[in-house]
Structure 1
Amino acid sequence: RDSCTFQLGALAGIFDRILPEPEVMLRANHSCVGREKQFQSASMLYGKPYHYIDLPNHFVGTTEDYVTQQIEELFHKLERQFGPKATPSRIEEVFAHSNRMRENCLKLNELRKQRILPVDPRTMFFIIPVIAGYLEPSQQLADLTEKIYQEFATLGENAGPEEVCRLFLMLAPFLFPSQPFYDWLEKEMGVRFVFEEQSHIYWRALDPADPFRSLARKCLDMDWVGPLSRRMAAADRLVDAYQAHGVLFTSIWGCRHLIGGVQLVRKHFAQRGIPFLNLDVDLGDERSVDFASIQSRIEEFLEIIRRPL
């Protein structure tokens, strides 16, 4: 369990030459400790340069300047390698697409505060994390987020039984086919996931007039960067905003950065009187998951939520 399934899978793809060969390796040092080993190995194997942005865990007056300088230096390194492609007009165009996507995602999140949408929870889990975190901003993607919002705005309420349990999800859901499990949660247990930690739009709009500082702020605005107290403050706001009855935390094996403080997270919600369940699981390989045991624990957890005060 030294690394999670996702990092092990990526390493296998690198060493087996399954993944496309990159021209350069880029990463920041937040959210994943194991990825550092992965990128170093890939850089040596491919013989490609490896660039790294350091995001400090403790913020001081010069932190923003420090990260801004790193991003600007990286920008010029890439220009020397690939040529001057990022003109001011191109930066303004990309930032405009990114900001439009951000606004559409914010509208979708506001819609979810108003009602539980009748959408497969796995769809909701991934819309914003994938669109906002992994795909390049473009006109097509901005149009897509607008269409998603408009279509979801026409949907009614997924009310279900009277005793619906509204859960807030921390970290990530199961990432393999697990439809029977989610059907059981929704239809038999009356569970509705009202929001997910990874769907939170935490960053400010990008400013094309100050692009490097704007990108530095986006990195530093992330709830997972810095002390655990920042993550908990964001979780508190989301639990309250989406009227969650309880918190489900998934501890994926090998993820030191994001699950290392789980006992402090548990204590925090206990002090607030909010039921909390931690599932120690492998989110990427169903062969390692004992669903019978997980279902038993969830049943007990829901009994606590529904227990009369």
Structure 2
Amino acid sequence: MDFDLPFASRSADQLVINWHITEACNYSCQYCYAKWETPDRQRELVHNPVRTRELLSRLYEFFHPDNYANPLRRHMNWGSVRLNLAGGEPLLYTRRVLEMLPIARDIGFDISLITNGSRLDSGLMASLVPYISLLGLSIDSQIAQSNKEIGRVDHRGQQLDIAKLVDTVSEGQRRHPSLKVKVNTVVNKVNQFDDMTSVIQCLRPEKWKVLRMLPIVDDRLAVSQQGFDDFVRRHAHLAAIRHVEDNQDMTESYLMVDPTGRFFQNTTGASVRGYRYSQPILEAGASVAFAGMRFAAPKFLFRYMASVGVSE
């Protein structure tokens, strides 16, 4: 295990594990980083409830706050563990997700989910909110042409109905007032001039994460430093809930698991793209699999300690 640690013994309320349960998505965002080596939908663990339960059990045991053998405990402390379900688009597999939620909760996880919002309706929201503490929404633009150029449209050309989403989220929060909402926006060449104020004000998230497009797979929509900085400055009035991450902030600062149950990490270097992968967790065990991964604990801690209590 390699660390970049200028300070140690800091604490986060939660340790967050991002499990990208599928590569499948109904959108085709050009910059999407959810592309893994040798993709095989049949091997995605989400389709196998037994192996899903086993993976979640192993992850929780390894990252349990009381597991002092975890190498991260030499450098940081945490009080609980949150499982963040991501994709692709996790709600393409609604039945599997709804089956998984009570299992993950009973194992001990706090649970969050991040979605592009296209599959959310009042019925699904009602099924989700008893189990999740945080709903993350990926929204990059409210301009139809921008979404089309980015690829945030389905095969029928349909885009996210933000007004409908606002109503659905509001209903979910009425059912469960403790539900927190977060919005993720990836700044890229297409949306760099957008004004997201009205979207953020309508959804009223506890946190708005502004991310600079990370050219892991494709750099066609990469935004310049000036373009990114201008976007951030243009939304200075939302600074109270805004958390900004440039490329260097995102590198090696997330705990991530791919659809087949491997830890993975984004690589560094201007000429290097793609991911580093661990051995499969179900074969090698979480400890052995995690031992070969790089993780920048200070970046992780900054994301949490600089926020208003809502992170991914």
The question of a shared fold, defined as TM-score above 0.5 by the shorter chain, is answered with no
Q: Given the two structures, how large is their TM-score scaled by the length of structure 1?
A: 0.30
Q: Given the two structures, how large is their TM-score scaled by the length of structure 2?
A: 0.29
**Larger helix percent:** 1
Larger Rg: 1
